[in-house]
Amino acid sequence: MRTFRIFILSLFIINFLLVIPGTARTLTDVQIGNKVNELLGKMTLKEKVGQMMQYSYWGSSGGKGQEAALRQGLVGSFLNVESIADKNRLQKIAVEQTRLGIPIIFGRDVIHGFRTIIPIPLGQAASWNPQLIEAGAALAAREARAIGVHWTFAPMLDICRDPRWGRIAEGLGEDPYLTSQLGAAMVRGFQGNDYSAPDRIAACAKHYVAYGAAEGGRDYNTTAVSERQLREIYLPPFRAAVDAGVATIMSAFNEIDGIPASGNQFTLRTILRNEWQFKGFVVSDWTSLTEMINHGFCADEKEVALKSITAGVDMEMVSESYIHHLENLLNEKQITSELIDESVRNILQIKFKTGLFDNPYTPEGGEKALLTPENQNVAQEIARQSLVLLKNEKNLLPLAKNLKRIAVIGPMANAPHDQLGCWSMDGRKENTITPLKAIQNYVGKETEVLFTEGLKTSRTTDTDGFDQAFKYASIADVVLLFVGEESILSGEAHSRAFLELPGAQEKLIEAVAKLNKPTVMVILAGRPLTFHQVAEKVGAILYAWHPGTMGGPAIADVLFGNYAPSGKLPVSFPKTVGQIPVYYAHKNTGRPPSPNQKGIPMGTPLDPVAFVSNYLDVDVTPEYPFGYGLSYTNFEYSNLKLSTDKLKMGEILEISVQVKNSGQMAADEIVQLYIRDLAASVTRPVKELRGFKRITLKPGESQIVNFKLQTNDLAFYNQQMKMVTEPGKFQLWVGKNSAEGLQTEFWIAE
Ligand code: GLC
């Protein structure tokens, strides 16, 4: 009898484990498809259209209308429901008080962390580390799902070559190849292999597409990009996200060559659905559908609904053109029921894959998953690897550990909110460890840390604090200047026409520099800034972006040599805003300037300026090029070899290079591979990134680094818009950034 009881008990336990909330998905895609069709067959037209509606939750006060609609089964999703209690209360209405009990999917902008905030994506991209970025997204997913978020509106994959654009902070830089690799890693981190799991969330690749090409770097502005630029620059990261299995795509605000992205059949159907076979669902951006009236693309809300669903937007965020007009459009036979069914099918299958039908509710107590030591360690490692050393004269860094007095000066030294960066709505400034706090914790009691902000904020022009700053700097052994941008100066709708350090920061730097003390400038900002003048006045410069909750300890690790900086710029830094757009993968033009050529020599008014593509008042090279970043050691490159210099179509080219750490400190190096197609049926950029590898070398250690290129890695869109590789001569570089490296060449034969 006893054995029998044990047997029954074990069956019960096994069965319980199989349905424990949040266990892995139990249904195959085919089974999900069948369930979706079965459910669809039971739905009324109103219920179908309801699934296509996403409200931003205004809380129980403003939410009355929303809750009434929810009770009628007319809401598919909410974003910005904050507490677990509110989510479960709304979910209970959806699941237990509506006719079909279809659960809500809760969305949130979990862009770079949740409660543990990691560096802004542009900073993460400076790590050039897909595995680490995947770990960062997984961290965010763990925390967000624990608080009932099912779906994040990330990764943001907009290529941007214009630092005036505030949203450059949210992207992964200027290069399609790097952004594709890192964006796919974020999708994997958010979703894992099964985003119904209790520590994963559905991802959303945004903003589809070419949002980062906004004219003048002004947010929401017109983009005039050709199909070739779309296909070679702006679309590849989204293709990489789709290939990585991203659950959803968000259609963008901007128009693309006259057709708004949210009403664009070419991008949303021809490319996304037909060419790429994307199977998830498309959500609009916040009122991006009804904004097509402002664009002058739709006459009224009814036409918005018609053009949006025809183009292929499945769910409408915040605006209500679908719930106001789809039923009439169907009754007037302007659309078919299949069009609505297709959108609802796309949405329901993602709800099944997110596990909402099995586990619609979030267990209380999710807060314990937030800000764990593990998450803080991951955040600190990402912040460490995001730091880019731009200057280090006479090896001023790393600092000695036995300094008597360190002056910590500047508005960004102890700015716990701003250090978190844009899109950190679930972060808490009280959790931030600032550089000041980290330095105070780091140094021993024999070191005195003298702190004064000098300027209250990054924008203030009130210089009353300069005297104190000057006094501390004059008695210190080393001056650490923490300058940059408040977080509000980047992100959505926060573009800048000037890129200098805001406020009176340059004056502060110049005042302190007059003392000729060893001075380190650490810049915390949401974009590349221009600081040519002050760069010459300090001994070392560390670019820290907005590094998140653990940014302080990461900066201290690098300043004091616990970690040798390895970051490489994911975006070119202009010398002046007048150079923009300035990026490494530019075209050669018919009259290329020499890199350092500028202007008419003074006093020779008749000397003709060279008739080439240059400026009179600045050269055409960036202040710091794409891929640039110094180390505390020196890496020497030698012995660049190719397996052949005559490649046949379809063959593989093997590349090897020797890298030696000839310095005194172990460090990481990111070895970069670039190519150039010298002559083709369509002009090609002067360089294109086609590979990168991180290596770690001890002092004196050497390593052979290998790359492989297939001939289709050299393909481009020809005049017929077909992806082809053409025979001819190619150049190839392997080096430490896009502006220097060992060079060789090879041919591809017919
Ligand atoms: C915003 C942003 C988008 C975000 C959405 C929801 O306007 O453009 O990136 O995900 O609305 O907050």
How far is ligand 1, taken at its centre, from the CA of residue 207, in Å? 9
Residue 108 in contact with residue 548, Cβ under 8 Å? no
Residues with Cβ within 8 Å of 319's Cβ and at least 6 positions away in sequence, in order, are 284, 287, 289, 290, 291, 304
Quick one: pLDDT at residue 9?
Answer: 52
Question: What integer pLDDT is reported at residue 26 of this predicted model?
Answer: 75
Reply yes or no on whether 285 is catalytic. yes
Asked if residue 109 has its Cβ within 6 Å of ligand 1, the reply is: yes
Q: How far is 137 from 447, CA to CA, in rounded Å?
A: 38
Return the closest-CA partner of residue 493 out of 275, 204, 731, 170.
Answer: 170
Closest of 537, 397, 553, 536 to residue 478, by C-alpha: 397
Calculated CA dihedral for residues 351, 110, 210, 354, nearest 10 degrees: -10
pLDDT band with cut points at 50, 70 and 90 for residue 474: very high
Identify the band that residue 608 occupies on the pLDDT scale cut at 50, 70 and 90: low
- Residue closest by Cα to atom 11 of ligand 1: 286
In 518-664, where do the E strands start and end?
Answer: 519-524, 540-543, 635-642, 646-647, 652-661
As a whole-number percent, the residues of the chain with pLDDT over 70 amount to 94
274-328 confidence digits (pLDDT tens): 999 999 999 999 999 999 999 999 999 999 999 999 999 999 999 999 999 999 9
Least confident piece of the model among 433-447, 607-621, 657-671? 607-621
> What gap in Å lies between CA 103 and CA 50, rounded to an integer?
12
- Residue 385 to residue 706: CA distance in whole angstroms: 23
Burial state string for 362-380 with b = 16 or more CB within 10 A and e = fewer than 16: beeebeebbbeeebbebbb
Quote the ligand 1 centre to 343 CA distance (angstroms).
21
Residues 6 or more apart whose CB falls under 8 angstroms from that of 93 comprise 67, 70, 71
Q: What is the mean pLDDT of residues 671-690?
A: 98
User: In this model, does residue 223 exceed pLDDT 50?
Assistant: yes
Would you say the CB of residue 619 lies under 6 angstroms from ligand 1? no
* CA 505/CA 485 separation, integer angstroms: 10
Indicate if ligand 1 lies below 6 Å from the C-beta of 492.
Answer: yes
Q: Show Cβ contacts of residue 592 under 8 Å, excluding neighbours closer than 6 positions.
A: 612, 613
The pLDDT tens digits for 23-64 are 456 789 999 999 999 999 999 999 999 999 999 997 755 566
Q: Which residue has the higher pLDDT, 251 or 20?
A: 251
Measuring from atom 8 of ligand 1, which residue has the nearest CA? 285
Which amino acid belongs to residue 317? M
Q: Output the pLDDT for position 14.
A: 44
Cα separation, 694 vs 668, whole angstroms: 7
Q: Identify the pLDDT of residue 6.
A: 53
Angle at 463 between CA 460 and CA 466, to 5 degrees: 130
d(CA 136, CA 150): 17
pLDDT at residue 609 above 70? no
With beta carbons less than 8 A apart as the criterion, state whether 35 and 352 touch.
yes
- Are 416 and 372 in contact, with CB atoms under 8 Å apart? no
**Residue range 573-577: mean pLDDT, rounded:** 98
Better-predicted residue by pLDDT, 564 or 67: 564
Give pLDDT tens digits for 328-383.
Answer: 999 999 999 999 999 999 999 999 999 999 999 999 999 999 999 999 999 999 99
pLDDT digits (tens, 9 = 90+) for 92-118: 999 999 999 999 999 999 999 999 999
- Could you tell me if the CB of 301 is within 6 A of ligand 1? no
Neighbouring C-alpha atoms within 13 Å toward the C-beta of 128: 29
The pairs formed by 298-304 with CB atoms below 8 angstroms and a separation of 24 or more are 298/263, 301/325, 302/328, 302/329, 304/263
609 DSSP assignment: P
Nearest residue to 160 via CA among 149, 147, 174, 150: 174
On whether the CB atoms of residues 269 and 312 are closer than 8 A, the answer is yes
**pTM more than 0.85:** yes
C-alpha neighbours within 13 Å on the C-beta side of residue 496? 25
- As beta bridge partners, residue 283 has 250, 315
Write down the catalytic residue from 285, 314, 418, 668: 285
Q: Which atom of ligand 1 is nearest to the CA of 107?
A: 6
Look at residue 595 in the predicted model and tell me its pLDDT: 74
Residue 286 near ligand 1, beta carbon < 6 Å: yes
DSSP state of 357: T
Q: Is 318 in the pocket of ligand 1 (CB under 6 A)?
A: no
Mean pLDDT calculated for residue range 598-611: 65
